[in-house]
Chain A
């Protein structure tokens, strides 16, 4: 019990520090105890954060939503279609395609970033939204999960009877199967959201224009400038808090979904 509390303190410490530091005026960051609140300056810090450099932080937040939320949504849809087909349709080459996808799970995304950069610079996609968005929608792990979940959640008889009723395969998928797979789809969405949200190397390689950055890359750049511009420190801290708190809350609310996902991921 004592050990678990000690570990809980360890996991909470950086986030607690961030909450405390985000409420302080810049001048008190170094002069007051880092773990104790002093002057409550959070709202002023937020105002500075969102107005700094013509409000570029708000722009980064919108970009993050485009890359991570929209990317994960599109990625979940295509993974679900593919995983469902691999689970429920019988056709030649099915096992082969599935092993190609499994091989894709092993390819590290950082190893893809540099060759992708070269290909994209040849086609002029580099330094646009598409350069980060398009590679992000591909999730071999999502297909793997979708296939497992489709096998477990959608009875073959149901598909057969929908076919007998004259429904096309897409109609069956969207009005019957996808409903049965909803908890699974949320799980796939969450995992892919985190994968895109965590992928720092790809946007760093692809993007030079500050207005296209996701929050992570933007804060990284600001953090690199704090040696010359110490006043940026407070905005890096407040910005970090603003970016992670909503995600942590969503995760706490949706915990039953990621727990089923982890269980399925470890089944192998």
Chain B
């Protein structure tokens, strides 16, 4: 009988006016194409990683016994936290993030504010050149920059040598900042445009009122514009924190030409290296720890800033 019911319900004036909506079956038909893969490829892997991270491989009777996996409590996590490679990789990207994120966002903010002033010419040109790197994948950006870093090919190294400097972009102290430069190149324009679109939605009357009160362009920018677009700045900061913790492609490419990047340079590289060594439970625990740190930091930053600024 179900083949009669749909038309009777959806096609007529029988439904309550304003309330209700389509039948449950229709709603499910709209939602399933997204939620089925979402559950299979997002929620199930998250659950699976959690489950794996609580398991350990044990052997029966000595080195040559058969191995089996069993519940191991927090053993995997204890191992992660006792692993000095893990803390080194966290320390490295911590340093990376503390320097790269503020520098990038400050440059993005200055660019957005300059683009927002009527004085600047060639706006479309500046907007497009800054955003263009967004279309370039991290791997390819890193390949492009690695040619600019390499002592044999780089015109940049050439220029420095002509004025008597001999920079080593791939040296042990510099390589982290060379990777940071690739990230900055990739994402400054994207962040700039998020801030710029927020600036554009501020009503002009606000500036006129401030001008009558004697405010300079400088005070308008820092006292009015920046506080108003604070939510966008928070948003770009959160995106950048997430991005930093996920760092993989750029250092992996630079590793191909520099011996100063280890296979465990970033937490994600460590997780991949451990998984390649067939220790999947340990790799799962590392992935879970990275995800939790990401979540805590980005969520914590949002809470902190919203309390302070009353956003």
Query: Residues of A with Cβ closer than 8 Å to B?
Result: 1, 3-4, 7-8, 10-15, 17-18, 21, 29-30, 33-35, 77-79, 81-82, 84-86, 88-91, 97, 101, 104, 106-112, 114-119, 134-135, 137-138, 140, 143, 163-164, 166, 168-170, 173, 194, 197-198, 200-201, 205, 216-217, 219-220, 223-224, 226-227, 236-237, 240, 243-244, 247-248, 250-252, 255, 258-259, 262-263, 265-266, 268
Contact = CB atoms under 8 A, between A and B. Distances in A.
A251 B193 CA distance: 14
A217 B48 CA distance: 26
Contacts of B20: 90
Question: Is chain B's interface secondary structure helix, strand, loop, or mixed overall?
Answer: helix
B132 A163 contact: no
Contacts of A15: 132, 136, 144
A115 B295 contact: no
Contact of A216 (B22, B111, B140): B140
A78 B31 CA distance: 8
Interface string B181-200: 00001001110011101101
A134 B49 CA distance: 19
B157 to A, nearest CB: 9
Contacts of A163: 10-11
A99 B232 CA distance: 21
Given A1-B120, A3-B114, A7-B107, A263 B284 contact: no
Interface of B: 10-11, 13, 19-22, 24, 26-27, 29-31, 33-35, 37-38, 40-42, 44-46, 48-49, 52, 107, 110-111, 114, 120-122, 125-126, 128-141, 143-148, 152-155, 158, 185, 188-190, 193-195, 197-198, 200-201, 231-232, 235, 242, 245-246, 248-249, 252-253, 256-257, 268, 271-272, 275, 280, 283-284, 287-288, 290-291, 294-295, 298
A216 B40 CA distance: 26
21 contacts: A1-B120, A4-B111, A11-B129, A17-B144, A33-B158, A81-B34, A104-B38, A104-B42, A108-B291, A110-B290, A111-B291, A112-B45, A115-B52, A119-B45, A140-B42, A168-B10, A169-B30, A198-B137, A223-B143, A240-B140, A266-B235
A197 B48 contact: no
B111 A166 contact: no
- Of all A-B residue pairs in the complex, the 8 with the closest CB atoms, nearest first, are A34-B155, A82-B34, A85-B30, A263-B197, A115-B45, A115-B49, A14-B144, A78-B33
A224 B24 CA distance: 54
Given A166-B11, A200-B249, A8 B34 contact: no
Contacts of B134: 194, 251
A220 to B, nearest CB: 5
Contacts of B201: 263
Given A220-B252, A263-B201, 12 more contacts: A11-B133, A11-B189, A21-B153, A34-B148, A89-B26, A89-B27, A106-B242, A134-B37, A168-B10, A205-B275, A244-B137, A248-B132
B287 A201 contact: no
A216 B21 contact: no
A90 B19 contact: yes
Given A8-B129, A89-B27, A220 B38 contact: no
Nearest to B198: A266
A27 to B, nearest CB: 12
Contacts of A201: 248-249, 268, 272
A134 B41 contact: yes
Contact of A219 (B34, B143, B291): B143
A89 B22 contact: yes
A188 B71 CA distance: 42
Contacts of A10: 185
Contact of A135 (B29, B41, B135, B235): B41
A205 B41 contact: no
B30 A81 contact: yes
A265 B272 CA distance: 31
Contacts of B136: 15, 244, 247-248
A104 B49 CA distance: 15
Contacts of A240: 140, 143-144
A37 B121 CA distance: 30
A110 B191 CA distance: 21
A200 B139 contact: yes
Contacts of A33: 155, 158
Contacts of A90: 19-21
